[in-house]
Amino acid sequence: MSSYPSYPPNLTAEQLSYLITSFTDYSLSHGLIVRPAPTFIPTNPSNSLATPAPVTLWPSPFPRTHFEEARSLQPFCNLLYARVAADQSWLGDLSTSLSLVDDFISKLWAIHTRLKSENGYHHKYSLGLFRSDYMVHTSDSEFAPLGIRQVEFNTIASSFGALASKVSDLHRYLWRSGAYPPTADYINDLSLPRNEALERLAEGLAKAHEVYIQDVSPDAKYTLETAASVGPNSSYGIMFVIQDGERNAFDQRWLEYHLTQKYGIRVFRVTFEEIRKYTHHVRPNYELLFVPPHAFDGRKQQVYEISVVYYRAGYGPGDYPGQEEWNTRYFLEESRAIKCPTILTQLAGSKKVQQVLAEKKNLEKFMGNERGEEGIVERIFETFAAIYPMDESEAGLKARKLAFEEPHRSRRAIKDERKLQ
């Protein structure tokens, strides 16, 4: 695939040692890190250890035209899944059928139906922070053009956006500092595009925060510009729902730091257990109030109204060991706070939805019918890999046949309906 004679280039022992040292020191110095594996916990009682995140030592070659195509398609992919989440009838048919064989999907859908039948939803808006994963596609023929194939589309707890921005900076530093050898002259500023995921993700959360405050308190004349100038003295905040013992905490922390430093927004990192202890609703509008246990000076307890609930947990069965966790998820969904994502948006990201959208007639239902979307169906469809169900349908029977036939067998992967942990 690569047009380079040797990539990555061969290095001497001295060159490799210098490159690894530069890589490690930069990662540790710039927060490109994760917490160590659980085996280190007995030797890390203060939770103060960190290790460089597992990233590539070299930037990966990727065709520029396909990179730009993936970038240009992202707004349309975002719109596609937003429309899927908004079509409760279509999504409900899929979710109901999945509920027969998937208890996790069944319980998510049950929260939605219960909310609709009891008090209804209290939020007016929702937020999606999505991640679309691609791989370069090659054909058996060496003369066939390259392409890209969408591996999956994540609608909940899409991680590594912040750290990916740091990886881009890391590779640029290694080039500028001379850690890469002179023979790697194809690595330069033009071949190392800047990654703005951290800024854009934080901007999305900040905008949702602004929209919420303007909706609940229009007389306050709140804007992000004025808030940033006076600092985080507002009684509103954003809640990150996290897992206990989160190893990828720094990817989340960078978003928090950006929100606080650039926009003057307080961020609270809480687990499901802490939500049960320190939050409550205020009726009739179901505002979500959080009483942080650390914000108490002996006389007065600070209370914050949560504008946005940002899920970095809750995406798999492991986050719901018992009914208490499911009750907590219902409690959050019932609140007025903007959810990122909603239950429906999470369901829209299931692998079954991706498989059904890979049938062009279903893709055409949601895309290509508005001004500015001319030709977009073909462009999106071209990125879809062949995805098959494992049921008794014609497509499912074809999948079983492919699974047992060479050379197809070694080229297929089985994917869970849910976001994998």
Instruction: Provide the annotated binding site.
Output: 252, 351
What is d(CA 34, CA 97) in angstroms, rounded to the nearest whole number?
38
Kindly report the CA angle at 235 between 234 and 238, in degrees rounded to 5? 90
Q: Which residues participate in the annotated binding site for substrate?
A: 252
**DSSP-derived pairing of the beta strands 279-282 and 147-154:** unpaired
Is-contact 250 271, C-beta < 8 A? no
Q: Which residues participate in the annotated binding site for ATP?
A: 351
- What sign results for the dihedral spanned by CA atoms 7, 161, 152, 351? positive
Give the count of beta carbons closer than 10 Å to the beta carbon of residue 114.
13
What is d(CA 223, CA 282) in angstroms, rounded to the nearest whole number?
24
Distance of CA 257 to the CA centre of its chain: 18
Give the count of beta carbons closer than 10 Å to the beta carbon of residue 419.
19
Tokens found for residue 186: 């194809």
- Among candidates 341, 342, 380, 344, which has minimal Cα distance to 362? 380
Residues with Cβ < 8 Å from 210, sequence gap 6 or more?
222, 223, 224, 227
Give the count of beta carbons closer than 10 Å to the beta carbon of residue 302.
14
Give alpha helix (H) positions in 30-160: 64-86, 88-99, 103-117
- For residue 196, the one-letter residue type is E
Helix (H) / strand (E) element for 266: namely strand 266-270
| CA distances from residue 251 to 164, 165, 166 in whole angstroms, order as listed | 9, 10, 10
What is d(CA 273, CA 290) in angstroms, rounded to the nearest whole number?
13
Place of tokens 């409550």: 280
